Homo-oligomer: A and B are copies of this chain.
Amino acid sequence: MKLAKSLQNIKPSYIREILSAANSQGIISLAGGLPDQASFPLSLMQDSLSNLTNHPSLFQYGSTAGYAPLLEYFKQHYQLPSSHEGLVCTGSQQGLDLIARAFINPNDKIVMEAPSYLGAIQVFGLAQAKIESVSQQADGPNLQELEACFAQGGITLFYAVPDFHNPTGVCWSLAVRQKVAQLCQQYDVTLIEDVPYRELRFSGEEIPLVSNFCPDHSLVLRSFSKIATPGIRLGLVTGRADWITPLNTVKQAADLHSSIPMQAVLLDLLQHKEFPDHLERLRKLYRERCQTLIDNITHQLPSYCRINKVEGGMFLWLLLPDCNIDALAKAALTSGVAVVPSSVFYQETNCTTSALRLNFTNANEEELAEAVQRLAKVIKEHC
């Protein structure tokens, strides 16, 4: 069989490829977006898992929208307006894919920040969307570029990660959030607000969702991979009921529904009285690891290496002088440290920034120090 046209320009994820290499013995990986496995709240999930078989109905076919008590919890917890609904997905990745399938025709124009989350670039590539890029600044997207983009018309949606962006770690300021919401309303563009790292803020103050300022012009994607565990594959889309309904229709065809036993375990976990302590410990651990990575970068890398300030999430964005960033990342792997080059996070040909995405949640402090030491040697040779 010939590949469908939609697939002919899609390459397998470089990150998932590098992750296999990164598993080789002796390699320290700052490449993936893996949460710390030793911190998974498994002890808080033990009773739920052991008790699942007391509830045979959890193992029967379920509703496409999700396990009803979990959906009810989400409605309360996220204080959804009565006109909004939720849909439980097989990871927030599926939520994004359902949105693209329900609302994007080939050649429709959509807007993303540059750089942007690779998984989103893949989804929109499969949907054959025309991606317009808006450059990112320290406090969010460049608003002049964004408005110019919206003003040309015909934009279906704007996909963004406003909290501790992947790959840059940028968190949008309150002023930027309000302005983006206003622009979405003014130009009738739907914001797809992807917030997988929102609960991982370890300094600074919480800022409202962008969607708070334009609830009927947005869909929110939430992930439970970072605060619960990734392996259970659960995410959530919320928004206007008339936009959730078509997502439900696509999901019926896509997989009928997501694992119900996993949804029941997630509900118990989120309601567990020790869950807030787990989150607190996780934020503390990631703050410390982030600081370790920053300290090592400051002391071991040449002063021309710069990093964005981050207040949460899982990534530092290490800006380098102009260089062949792919060759540098490859050399780093040979030297025993896996990192992701900036080129991966841009649409083809428009990467003008030499940078590396460094994950700080999955390696311990000794590994982080050793990784930077290995990196230092490679950077000095390449820049």
Q: Taking the complex as formed, is A243 at the interface, i.e. its CB lies under 8 A from any CB of chain B?
A: yes
A231 B259 Cβ-Cβ under 8 A: yes
Chain B neighbourhood of A5, CB < 8 A: 105
* Residue of chain B at shortest CB distance from A127: B4
On whether the beta carbons of A233 and B252 are closer than 8 Å, the reply is: no
Chief secondary structure at chain A's binding surface = helix
Q: Report A82-113 residues with CB < 8 Å from chain B CB.
A: 89-91, 93-94, 97, 101-105
Knowing A231-B259, A252-B13 touch, does A52 contact B49 (C-beta < 8 A)? Answer: yes
Check: A383 CB closer than 8 A to any chain B CB.
no
Decide if B60 touches A230 in the complex (CB within 8 Å). yes
Residues of B within 8 A of A103 (CB): 1-4
Chain A 53-83 residues near chain B, CB threshold 8 A: 53, 56-62, 64
Contact A1 B259 (CB under 8 A): no
Q: Is there an interface contact between A249 and B10, defined as CB atoms closer than 8 Å?
A: yes
Given contacts A103-B1, A231-B60, A246-B3, contact A12 B252 (CB under 8 A): yes
Smallest CB separation, A148 vs chain B (Å): 21
Least distance between A86 CB and chain B CB atoms (Å): 17
Contact at B1–A243, with CB atoms within 8 Å?
yes
Nearest CB of B to A260, in Å: 4
Partner of A262, one of B37, B156, B190, B262: B262
In contact, B254 and A94 (Cβ under 8 angstroms): yes
Chain A interfacial positions (CB closer than 8 Å to B): 1-7, 10, 12-13, 16, 32-35, 37-38, 40, 42-43, 45-46, 49-50, 52-53, 56-62, 64, 89-91, 93-94, 97, 101-105, 119, 122-123, 125-126, 156-157, 190, 225, 229-233, 243, 246, 248-250, 252-262
Excluding A1-B156, A259-B259, 9 further A-B contacts by CB distance (< 8 Å) are A4-B104, A16-B64, A33-B61, A35-B60, A37-B57, A91-B256, A94-B255, A232-B260, A233-B256
